[in-house]
């Protein structure tokens, strides 16, 4: 018999730890755009 484990109760907390601060996210985005020579 297989037990089912639900992580619904902690999913919001987990998700909150996965993000980057806005200024870091912007720096990463700018780096990637420059890396691939993208134009806006």
Identify the pLDDT of residue 3.
Answer: 87
Q: How many CA atoms lie within 13 A of 7 on its CB side?
A: 5
Query: pLDDT digit of tens for each residue in the chain (40 aa)?
Result: 788 888 888 888 888 888 889 999 999 999 999 999 876 5
DSSP-assigned letters across all residues of 1-40:
-PPP---GGGHHHHHHHH---HHHHHHHHHHHHHHTT---
This prediction has a pTM of 0.51
Q: Indicate if the alpha-carbon torsion angle 7, 13, 18, 22 is positive or negative.
A: positive
Identify the pLDDT of residue 39.
Answer: 65
């Amino acid at each position: 018999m297989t037990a089912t484990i639900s992580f619904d109760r902690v999913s919001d907390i987990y998700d909150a730890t996965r993000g980057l601060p806005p200024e870091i996210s912007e720096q990463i985005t700018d780096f990637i755009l420059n890396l691939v020579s993208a134009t806006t």
